[in-house]
Amino acid sequence: MTEESNIIDQVVSQEYQYGFSTVIEMETAPKGLNEDIVRFISAKKNEPEWLLNYRLKAYKHWLTLDEPNWQNFNYPPIDFQNIIYYAAPKEKVKLNSLDEVDPELLKTFEKLGISLTEQKRLTGVAVDAVFDSVSIATTFKDQLREKGVIFCSMSEAVHEHPELVQQYLGSVVPYTDNYFAALNAAVFSDGSFVYIPKGVRCPMELSTYFRINAENTGQFERTLIIADDQSYVSYLEGCTAPMRDENQLHAAVVELIAHTHAEIKYSTVQNWYPGDKDGKGGIYNFVTKRGNCEGDYAKISWTQVETGSAITWKYPSCVLKGNHSNGEFFSVAVTNNAQLADTGTKMIHIGSHTKSRIVSKGISAGKSHNTYRGLVKVASKATDARNYTQCDSMLIGDRSGAHTFPYIEVSNSSAVVEHEASTSKIGEDQIFYCNQRGIGTEEAIGLIVNGFCKEVLNQLPMEFAVEAQKLLAVSLEGSVG
C-alpha cells in the first residue's frame, strides 16, 4: 500500500515539461470579440473580400447559437470577451528562409524538440510550426513543390491558391456545424494547408506543430487537407502550451477531403498543458475534425494519442460518401489528475460497400474521467456497409471514471455492425504473473499498458510512435500498484 501511494505521489508530482513560456515581442488584438475584431484579424492577414464576408457570416451565425451542454462533464462558463483572438510575434518583413526567423522563436521550438533547422532534415519530415496565431515557418517547401505538393500556412494559401481555398474551405465543416466551428470560422488565425495533386504519393511525412504561448489567448487554427485522385499523404500534428493558471481555449477545425482512390492518414499527438494536479489551469481542447471520402475507394484514417488538455472534447469523423470508401479511427486517450476527456468518432456510411473500423483505448487515472462517445450511422442506401468498433477502458485508481456512449443507427438490412467494449483494471493476477518471472511491478505495468494500446500505437508513423510511447510512459509511470 505504501509503495502504491509513493508511486501515485510520484506521478501526481510529475511536472509538465513543456510548461515554459517564451518572452517575445507580441502583437495582439484587444481582448474580446465583436465584428471589429473579426475585421481586424482579416485586415491583419490582408485577406480578400470573400473571406472577410465568410468570417462575418460565421460570426453572425455564432451570435445566434447557445453553448452546447450535452457533454459528459462540466466546466466553468467561458468568457468569450476575455480572450485575445489574435496574437502574433512581431515581425517586420516576410521571411524567406529559416535564417530570418527570430532566434528566440527557433529556440522555443528547439526546446520542444522540434528543431526546424537540423533534426528534421535527418528524419525527412516537413514541418509547419504555428506559434499562437501565425505560422512561423514551413520547412521543405521547395522539395515538396517539385512534386506539386502544396504545404504551407493557411494565410499563405489564401493568397497563393485562393481558388482551392475558396472551393474547399467550410465544405466539410460548415460554419453552421456547431458552436465552436462557427467561432473558429469567424476568428481562425492560421493553420496548415495541404494539397496533394493527382497520382502523387507525398514523399515525406507532413507535420504541424502548434504552440500556444501568449497569455489569455485562444488558439483557433484551421487545417485543410485535400488529396486528389490516387494520391497519398500522411500528416501529423503536435501541440504544447505553457503552464498558466487560467484555462485557455483551443477551438480548431480540421477538414480533410479524399477523392477517388486517395488516402489521408492524419495522426495527432496532443499534449496541451493539462492543468495542475488540482485541475487548475490547462487547455480546453474543443476541436471539430472531419473528413469526407468524396470519391470511390477513398480512405481516411485518424490516429490520435491524447495525453494533454484539461478538457478534451472532440470527435474526428469520417463521412463515407464514395462507394467502397473506408474510414478508420484509432485512439488512445490518457487522463490523469483532474483531466476530462469526452472523445470518440462519427462514421457516417452513405456510399455502398463502405467500411469503417474504430479502435478506442481509454486509460483513466487519478480523479480523471474518460468518455468514449461515438456514432455509427448507416444510411438506407448504404448497402453492404461494414463497421467494427472496439472500445476498451482501463481504470487506474478508485476515483477515476470510464464512460461509454456508443450511438448506432442502422437503416439498411445488409449492414453488419459490431460493437464491443470492456472496462477493467490491471489485474492483480497479471502483475503477479510478471512479478513471478522477475519483471518488476513498474515494468509490468508498462508492459500491460503498452500491450493495451499497441493496436493504436502501431498506426502512428515510426518517429511519432516512439514519442507517443514516451508520453504514455510519462503520463502513467507507476500509477498502478
What separation in angstroms does the CA of 421 have from each of 336, 361, 386, 406? 21, 10, 17, 10
Instruction: Give the shortest CB-293-to-another protein separation in angstroms.
Output: 21
Shortest Å distance, C-beta 333 to another protein: 15
Give the C-alpha distances (Å, rounded to integers) separating 215 from 87, 191, 245, 398: 9, 19, 10, 35
Site for another protein in 99-128 (CB under 8 A): none
417 binds another protein (CB under 8 A): yes
CB 252 within 8 A of CB 154: no
Q: Which of 6, 167, 380, 458 is close enough to bind another protein by CB under 8 A? A: 380
- Rg over alpha carbons for the chain, rounded to the nearest Å, is 22
Asked if 89 and 136 touch (Cβ cutoff 8 Å), the reply is: yes
- 357 binds another protein, rule: CB under 8 A: no
| Residue 415 contacts another protein per CB under 8 A | yes
- Helix 462-476 and helix 441-457, axial crossing angle in degrees, nearest 10: 140
Residue 158 is inside which H or E element, if any?
A: helix 154-160
> Given the complex with another protein, which of 7 and 410 has the nearer CB atom?
410
Q: Determine the interface stretch with another protein among 99-107, 176-184, 293-301, 403-411 (rule: CB under 8 A).
A: 403-411
Closest to another protein by CB, 209 or 372:
372
Q: Which residues of 385-398 are buried (b: 16+ CB within 10 A; e: fewer)?
A: bbbebebbbbbbbe
Shortest CB 377 distance to another protein, Å: 9
Run of H or E including 469: helix 462-476
Judged by DSSP in three states, 420 sits in strand
Among 418, 443, 454, 470, binds another protein (CB under 8 A): 418
Residues 6+ apart with CB under 8 A from 390: 358, 359, 360, 420, 421
Q: Using the rule CB under 8 A, which residue among 409, 432, 433, 451 binds another protein?
A: 409
432 binds another protein per the rule CB under 8 A: no
CB of 305 to another protein, least distance (A): 22
Closest separation in Å from C-beta 300 to another protein: 23
Decide if residue 70 touches another protein (CB under 8 A): yes
Q: Is 12 in the site for another protein (CB under 8 A)?
A: no
Q: Which is nearer to another protein, 40 or 179 (CB)?
A: 179
Out of 32, 115, 425, 430, the residue judged to bind another protein by CB under 8 A? 425
Rule CB under 8 A: is residue 354 a binding residue for another protein? no
| Interface residue list for another protein (CB under 8 A) | 70, 380, 383, 393, 395-425
